[in-house]
A and B are shown apart, each in its own frame.
Chain A
Amino acid sequence: MSQQGYVAAPPYSQSQPGIGGFGPPNSSVHYGHYGDPNSSYSAPQPGVSKSAVPFGSPAPVGPPPPGAQQLSQSSFQNGSGTPGQQFQGPPPPSNTGPSYPPYSLQSQAAFPNAAPASSAAQLADQLNSMQINSYGNGVCPGAAPSSPGHPAAFQGPRLLPPAQQQMGLPPAPQLPPAPQLPPPPANSVNGLCAQPALPPMARQGGMPAPVPPNPNLQHLPGQPPGPGYHPQQANYGPQMAASQLSYPGAFPGGPAQLSGPPQKKLDPDSIPSPIQVIENDKAAKGGQVYATNTRGQVPPLVTTNCVIQDQGHASPRYIRCTTYCFPVSSDMAKQARIPLAAVIQPFAAVPPNETPLYLVNHGESGPIRCNRCKAYMCPFMQFIEGGRRYQCAFCTCINDVPPFFFQHLDHMGRRIDHYERPELSLGSYEYVATLDYCRDKKPPNPPAFIFMIDVSYRNIKSGLVKLICDELKTLLDKLPREEQEESSAIRVGFVAYNKVLHFFNVKSSLAQPQMMVVTDVAEVFVPLLDGFLVDFEESRSVVNNLLDQIPELFADTNESETIFAPVIQAGMEALKAAERAGKLFIFHSSLPTAEAPGKLKNRDDKKLLNTDKEKTLFQPQGNYEALAKDCVANGCCVNLFLFPNQYMDVASMGLVTMYTGGTLYKYNNFQINTDSPQFLSDLRKDIQKKMGFDATMRVRTSTGFRATDFFGAIYMNNTTDVEMAAVDCDKAVTVEFKHDDKLNEDTGALIQCAVLYTSMSGQRRIRIHNIGLNCSSQLADIYRTCETDALINFFAKSAFKAILSQPLKTVRDILMNQTAHMLACYKKNCASPAAVSQLILPDTMKVLPVYMNCLLKSSVLAGRPEIPTDERAFHRQLVMAMGVADTQLFFYPLLLPIHSLDLKSDAVPAAIRCSEERLSEGGAFLLANGLSMFLWLGASVSPELIQGLFNVPSFAHISTETTSLPDLDNPFSKKLKHILEQIQSHKPHTMKLMIVKQREQPEMLFRQFLVEDKSIYGGASYVDFLVCIHKEISQLLS
């Protein structure tokens, strides 16, 4: 059922874009219907549990399934690839087969009519009923899914998604609802149901026709809302059974499982699809206002675009949790083995239509804090005694309200000024810090950026130095500043280095810049104070003069050796001497082999792979740790731009960057003509990023649990203070929590994250994010509020941290194990009894297996000699700092069909699953994972398309050398450009576009990103992995 719910949802969402005008009304209707969306949400959740069963899956599936199923399974796979099918009706392409098309048509027709009013109502009813009915298991799947499945299709689905907590593997979903058991069958059944939904999405998305949206609907439509319901149920049973029968073979087929008979391969469309999940959520919540007024409320997925309104809890842009309901006791937590973690992105960018953080200024008295635990005033604090005192929500200590802050309470016990004070009503806000919060009790100076350019032979010859210098001339006008400021307060300084350091005095009073060479690299120091860090506005002419001269100054250099640690040291010392925090921009292109501290040697050794010593490849050489520590202590963030053409020991060189909250950029075999756009774009973005400097983060929790582990681009000097030399909008810290004690279900679990930092204008501030989570003694509650994207973020970071100390195999095993445990625990405790062979997935973790598989076969954990060590170290480092949205995209790339763009709409087309099967010879697909981007062109892609995109007559004329598309004046090209921009926006790294032609060598690279397939490096395919995990679960449960 869940799947159905699934199914239902997507159609809906799809219909929105597809149908155009249609969407909006729907949504509004929804909204209206719910009245207060929040409340409505919360309601469904609990209800979810069982009720679903009845209608759920069966309904849609109904009659068609059986037949379809089988067809689909066998023919399906074959068919999918074949062009023939495509010819046939638009919808069917894949599996759905013939039966669907009609549906779709109908649905379309039906939709408009039925949808709005009635459906909504129904849904509501259903939901209610669900709640009431909820079965012990807490397996809700049925409820939600079913509803969507039904007529509800339209709206139902939307609502449902939230409601549905659980998702089954093909079989599972349905199972829960119906004890009906045999997963396999269910599977198949679902598969069918689902398939229609999924395939349509994928396939049809690919298709030129507008169909896609509809297909989803198809199911729904098929069954008239009301009526279809019961019948379906009836059908259900049998179907399931049937499916079971057929299934076993198919499913287990993979590995050792039960019977391995007939079909070895599980139908890919029958297993949970990330795309489906994403689209469902989009359909349900996309474009809406999401208000954070409820504790423990599960936010929309990261892939869903909506407007977030802070009503007392931090926006999910700032904090996402692996689960929004914590188990009450550590025993329970151990049982479930769901990591309790929050991914905090304290400086996350908010879209312009959301309110920026309010700044609270209490003047000299500073922020109001609990006397005992030092938590900051926040909406969780309880005012008592007429407002004269307040009880800290974190440690329960009772504090006096400072006189200047006193305010009377209203009849609800709430302060009268509740809505006037951000710190009383909002989840996130900022305090102006007093001198007590400053280094040496002195107000901080505005931060500085120091540009440190490697001017060794290679960089001069490649033209990189000139490129950087030219770019800086314009870029320095765009230094970040506070909204209200006219110009940026940030100072700039310049250093050129090879084997020695060249500092530049660019004081505004000079006619010419002056160069000062520091050759004592063993003990580097800053040769000047005055004139090194300057205001660009004031020193513009000198700086520009300098930037003109740098390439010439070193034009005839033949120095090829470089230093590295002394460069960082120098930058740090400069900032220290100037008593500023700041950021170094280091542009470096070779392994630092010159005789100096931090000298590195090539230690890349493929022989270490898959041995216990593999971890040493990720550990830094030399004394970079101490350097990093110094940098952090002095508020010096290091941004590193690497231009390697061979091994550069990223693990060592990037270490300081990582610990200081910097960003690492790497451009392999940098070619000025092809790679400079990417590099320049990264540089521009990075310089303009909003960020905080010299930051310390503290995560406080209410009693009963506490933050125990932190992952991210951070440095920890002790166990509680997270130190970050700088933190920008893209950096996220993942915090793991453990129980100390029992939690209280009434008060919930409260988290307050406070970041003390220096703003870009040099103001000391404290940024506070508060979030409240629920607590429950019911495992089902936990599972229902999990967020897979956050889980993956946590797993990725913890695994990537663990590889420093443990063999990769152990790390992979742990991941597998924990995944199996979590799912097994669910099956055992939350799902209705089912056969051992049945794989049951909680709705919120439907896509955990596929994501987990992606993580396991990511280059970092794969350990294959084909993958350069540097690349792995690079990815490891990037992931450690990523937020949820970035990890989601990184591990499960976005694959868009672009041959069938809807030119009339602004929207990005629906994605398809990352599998080769989803590609078609006649199509063109765009793939992006946040680091790289591919435009894959099928061998028989239409000449018009080629002409439109590349302005060349045929496939053969397309150059794969290019990294950008020509600017052409045709709607198709413009649209694609627009899509590229949208994908690129808000991504920390600029993706270099690679053109890949089907059946040409570079395709191998591209295929690595088709993460649902078996990897050329040996990673399991999604299906295989499912089978494997299922086996693990079965073993655990047996």
Chain B
Amino acid sequence: MATYLEFIQQNEERDGVRFSWNVWPSSRLEATRMVVPLACLLTPLKERLDLPPVQYEPVLCSRPTCKAVLNPLCQVDYRAKLWACNFCFQRNQFPPAYAGISEVNQPAELMPQFSTIEYIVQRGPQTPLVFLYIVDTCLEEEDLQALKESLQMSLSLLPPDALVGLITFGRMVQVHELSCEGISKSYVFRGTKDLTAKQIQDMLGLSRPAVPMQQGRPLQTPEQPVISSRFLQPVHKIDMNLTDLLGELQRDPWPVTQGKRPLRSTGVALSIAVGLLEGTFPNTGARIMLFTGGPPTQGPGMVVGDELKTPIRSWHDIEKDNARFMKKATKHYETLANRSATNGHCIDIYACALDQTGLLEMKCCANLTGGHMVMGDSFNTSLFKQTFQRVFSKGYNGEFRMAFGAHLDVKTSRELKIAGAIGPCISLNAKGPCVSENELGVGGTSQWKICSLDPSTTLAIYFEVVNQHNAPIPQGGRGAVQFVTQYQHSSTQRRIRVTTIARNWADAQTQLQHIEAAFDQEAAAVLMARLGVYRAESEEGPDVLRWLDRQLIRLCQKFGQYNKDDPNSFRLSESFSLYPQFIFHLRRSPFLQVFNNSPDESSYYRHHFARQDLTQSLIMIQPILYAYSFHGPPEPVLLDSSSILPDRILLMDTFFQIVIYLGETIAQWQKAGYQDMPEYENFKHLLQAPLDDAQEILQTRFPMPRYVHTEHGGSQARFLLSKVNPSQTHNNLYAWGQESGAPILTDDVSLQVFMDHLKKLAVSSAS
């Protein structure tokens, strides 16, 4: 199967696409029996060093309902200068500029290696990027100070011509005017009153130009920048000014009495930010960056009252329908998120507090707009500082790793339809012939908007095979999918990236082994996990688990080799062998388990899960564990309690946490100070090795993981213990013998038990 693995890898590198099935079952019925849907993980802006963008417009199919882009799969009649669309079979004339093409003189988009190609188009005015900071001032002094410094630092990271704005909030919301010399000026809003976009624009004095703007937009009215300039200014002009302004920011001056939370008007602040951008820069790339240090406590979007004696909602409260403000708040933020997304603006949430901050209610802001969500304990931690800095990191070519306002348009050949997408996107409600009626994720459309994306942003796109069983596809027929992503590059250029892929059809009845061999279990696990998480967001947890289990059992029934009712006979082929394990860990993961996690944490984890690429997603599902010992070089070990040995140092990467765990003996050695003795330098090196590796991960990952350094018996060891497969617990400790590992005090089933059950159920003739 090496060929398939290579194929998969190659495809991923070239196109940023990984399909669950790389050979497609050729009929609807067969496809549904495959259990794992035909779907793919698409990384639209996958970094490609070898992909120089072309400087012209793509050639489109002339059929209005199709408009597919000319691609290497199209049949071209070089003599007639015609090409046939491979999706709708429309024959199209080449535009005049293509007059000189021939078999030997092909444009890039016709060359097979350019199945993914990027166009730079000159279309519309180039508007600078907009960064709007929303800063919570109800912070502790050190926190605020740290945040101020981070913000000041960030000014130097922004593109010089980017527009920047500042909104601060506490009990009130202040929109700071940045253009004025001398006296600093801000517009203040009551934190308890929800305002419509119109009201906000009126109050900020933005409404007057509304008329000219609408009429004048196409004409590139010169007033437009003038209007907004009061609140949004080019960084290079006002960075001094803004630095001072940030420096002078004071904690919210309103007194907070004993036993109360500070009044935080997050909801209104966000609403104003959205309204401000809506009025000034609709449909241009903009980042609203919300920095908050606690839950919204008043006004629309409040999550908890200001009485400290009433704790913020827990999962328990939510289950009991005891979370008073949740529904209303969620609705408020959803409305905002949708408005913002419609205008192509993204919302980042940087929430740093020890308690919850209302991410559960606010999550949609980041989820729907492609914004970042960062959760930390304090702004005064390197976790926040570095993460924030990384928002502005630059890619290999010195460009910001962010893009804005993307439209993703998916086209399929007629045997396929689009069921939906899961990722940081909203539907554009583009109905069409290739849109399925069965929705998976955000469906009912063939186009989505992704307000902000970076090179790793990955969407899961689900398809439905609609070819009827009795209409066989000719042998060697291929299904094709085209992904057209239009976006605003960080350099403010408009770009279009087109990826066209094709896969073979196969008759599942006769060629099941082909299909089976072309199964991408990693992609399938992530795709199923996304579906599961998507369901978990809307359904009860246990139901999702049950659904997941059923799917797994069905898959095993379909693809396992076994004798009925004989669990021991059960075998899975190599291409499926890891899948049950992924599902086992997924079931235990915080994406589906809320136990031990606050609602905010769950939202945070799920947010990241729904946007990371395959590799990261897999780490999230099944953390990676490395062992360091004197017995040999560092090696990956099983994520199992048996891997926890006294003379080992373990390094676990769960994506969100990096845990370094010193085994019992190692810890004792360290306490004894051996590492400081010259004769035990090797021990020092051993201690250092995982630190260095951890650093490497910490340096590159966004958001920066929580770094935990612990040892046997340490309280923070729980991070490790909760992740490993509890193969040894207090229940079976003695039964399994003490030869190795550390028992986990849990009632969770271990992988072995899980697998036993799975086999039993899979081979059972009853189901």
Q: Write the residues of chain A forming the contact surface with B, with a CB cutoff of 8 angstroms.
A: 500, 502-503, 510, 512-520, 523, 525, 527-531, 546, 549, 553
A517 near B172: Cβ-Cβ < 8 Å: no
CA distance A734 to B508 in the complex (A): 103
A residues in contact with B189, CB < 8 Å: 518-520
Is B153 an interface residue when CB atoms closer than 8 A count as contact? no
Q: A525-B172, A530-B253 are in contact. Are A517 and B183 (CB under 8 A)?
A: no
Check B186–A516 contact: CB distance below 8 A.
yes
Instruction: Known A527-B188, A546-B183, A553-B183; judge A519-B204 contact (CB<8 A).
Output: yes
B252-263 CB mask vs A (1 if < 8 Å, else 0) is 011100000000
Residues of B at under 8 Å CB distance from A?
A: 172, 174, 177, 182-190, 193, 195, 202-205, 248, 250, 253-255
Cross-chain pairs A/B with CB under 8 angstroms, 29 sampled: A500-B203, A503-B188, A510-B248, A512-B182, A513-B183, A515-B184, A515-B186, A517-B187, A517-B188, A518-B187, A518-B189, A519-B187, A519-B189, A519-B202, A519-B203, A519-B204, A520-B189, A520-B190, A520-B193, A520-B203, A527-B174, A527-B188, A528-B172, A528-B188, A529-B253, A529-B254, A529-B255, A546-B183, A553-B183
Q: How far is the CA of A592 from the CA of B157 in the complex (A)?
A: 47
Residues of chain A with a CB closer than 8 A to B202's CB: 519
Cα distance A514–B245 in the bound complex, in angstroms: 10
Q: How far is the CA of A528 from the CA of B481 in the complex (A)?
A: 58
Closest chain-A Cβ to B235's Cβ sits at a distance in Å of: 21
What chain A residues lie within 8 Å of B183 (beta carbons)?
Answer: 512-515, 546, 549, 553
Bound Cα distance A528, B169 (Å): 12
Q: Which residues of A contact B254 (CB under 8 A)?
A: 529
A525 to B173, CA, bound (A): 12
In the complex, what residue of chain A is closest to B193 when comparing beta carbons?
A: A523
Collect the chain A residues with CB atoms within 8 Å of residue B203's CB.
Answer: 500, 519-520
Complex: A546 Cα to B254 Cα, angstroms? 23
Alpha-carbon distance between A611 and B255 when the two chains are bound, in angstroms: 55
CB neighbours (8 Å) of A523 from chain B are 190, 193
Can you add 7 more A-B contacts, CB < 8 Å, to A514-B183, A514-B185, A516-B187?
A502-B185, A512-B183, A512-B184, A514-B184, A519-B204, A520-B193, A531-B253
Bound Cα distance from A437 to B526, whole angstroms:
71
Distance, CA A510 to CA B250, complexed state (A): 11
- The answer for the CA separation of A510 and B193 in the assembled complex, in Å, is 30
Min C-beta distance of B25 to chain A, whole Å: 60
Q: What is the minimal beta-carbon distance from A345 to any residue of chain B, in angstroms?
A: 39
Q: Chain B residues near A513: list those with CB within 8 A.
A: 183
What's the minimum C-beta distance from A445 to chain B, rounded to whole angstroms?
A: 13
Residues of B within 8 A of A546 (CB): 183
Q: Name the residue in A517, A523, A549, A553 with the highest tally of chain B Cβ atoms < 10 Å from its Cβ.
A: A517
Give the one of A528, A546, A553 with max B CB within 10 A: A528
Q: If A512-B183, A512-B184, A549-B182 touch, does A525 touch B190 (CB 8 Å cutoff)?
A: yes
Closest approach, in angstroms, between the C-beta of A503 and any C-beta of chain B? 7
Chain B residues whose CB sits within 8 angstroms of the CB of A512 once the complex forms: 182-184
Nearest opposing residue in chain B for A504, CB measure: B183
Given A503-B188, A523-B190, A549-B182, A516-B253 contact (CB < 8 Å): no
Taking CB atoms, residues of chain A closer than 8 Å to B190 are 520, 523, 525
Closest partner residue, chain B, to A499 (CB atom): B205
- Chain A residue contacts of B185, Cβ below 8 A: 502, 514-517
A104 to chain B, nearest CB (A): 72
Nearest A residue to B254, CB-CB:
A529
Given A512-B182, A518-B188, A528-B253 contact (CB < 8 Å): yes
A519 to B200, CA, bound (A): 9
C-alpha gap A518/B172 in the complex (Å): 10
- CB pair A514 B187 closer than 8 Å: no
Residues in B with CB closer than 8 Å to A530 are: 250, 253
Q: Which residues of A contact B182 (CB under 8 A)?
A: 512, 549
List the B residue with the shortest CB-CB distance to A510: B248
Cβ contacts under 8 Å, B248 to chain A: 510, 514
Across the interface, name the chain A residue whose C-beta is closest to B250. A530
CB distance from B187 to the nearest CB of A (A): 4
Report A-chain residues with C-beta under 8 Å of the C-beta of B172.
525, 527-528
Minimum CB–CB distance from A545 to chain B (whole Å) comes to 8
| B174, B177, B182, B255 interface centre (most CB from chain A within 10 Å) | B182
A517 to B177 alpha-carbon distance, docked (Å)? 10
Residues A516 and B188 in contact in the complex (CB < 8 Å), given A528-B253, A529-B255: yes
Q: Which residues of A contact B187 (CB under 8 A)?
A: 516-519
Q: How far, in Å, is B696 (CB) from chain A's closest CB?
A: 45
On chain B, the residues within 8 Å of A519 by CB distance are 187, 189, 202-205
Which residues of chain B have C-beta atoms less than 8 A from A518's C-beta? Answer: 187-189
Give bound CA distance, A549 to B186, whole Å: 16
B residues near A510, Cβ cutoff 8 Å: 248
B383 → chain A, closest Cβ, in Å? 32
Chain A: minimal CB distance from B223 (Å): 16
Residues of B within 8 A of A549 (CB): 182-183
- Please name all residues of chain B whose beta carbon is closer than 8 Å to the beta carbon of A500 when the two chains form the complex: 203
- Shortest CB-to-CB span from A17 to chain B, Å, is 58
- A523 and B299 alpha carbons, distance in the complex (Å): 14
Alpha-carbon gap, A466 to B510, bound state (A): 93
Nearest first, the 5 A-B pairs at minimum CB distance are A519-B203, A527-B188, A530-B253, A515-B185, A517-B187
| A516 vs B184: C-alpha distance when bound (angstroms) | 8
Tell me how far the C-beta of B255 lies from the nearest C-beta in chain A, rounded to whole angstroms: 7
CB distance from B471 to the nearest CB of A (A): 64
Q: Which residue of B lies closest to A517 (CB)?
A: B187
CB-based nearest B residue for A514:
B184
User: Which listed residue (A516, A529, A531, A553) contacts B174, Cβ 8 A?
Assistant: A516
Bound CA–CA A66/B316 (angstroms):
111
**In the bound complex, CA of A514 to CA of B188 (Å):** 12
Tell me the minimal C-beta distance from A524 to chain B in angstroms: 9
Contacts of B174 in A (CB 8 A): 516, 527
Report the Cα distance A553→B182, complex, angstroms. Answer: 9
Query: From A530, which residue of chain B is reached at the shortest CB distance?
Result: B253
How far does the alpha carbon of A319 sit from the alpha carbon of B343 in the complex, in Å? 70
What residues on A are CB-neighbors of B253 within 8 Å? 528-531
A515 to B185, CA, bound (A): 4
* CB of A411, distance to nearest CB on chain B (Å): 60
Cross-chain contact A514 with B186 (CB below 8 angstroms): yes
A549–B203 Cα distance when bound, in Å, is: 23
B140 CB → nearest A CB, Å: 17
In the bound complex, CA of A519 to CA of B172 (Å): 13
Report A548 CB to chain B, min CB distance, Å.
10
C-alpha spacing A527/B182, complex, angstroms? 20
Q: Which residues of B contact A531 (CB under 8 A)?
A: 253
Report the Cα distance A530→B137, complex, angstroms.
14
CA gap between A90 and B116 in the complex, in Å: 119
From A559, which residue of chain B is reached at the shortest CB distance? B205
When chains A and B are docked, how far (Å) is the Cα of A525 from the Cα of B254? 13
Residue ID in chain A nearest B185 by CB atoms: A515
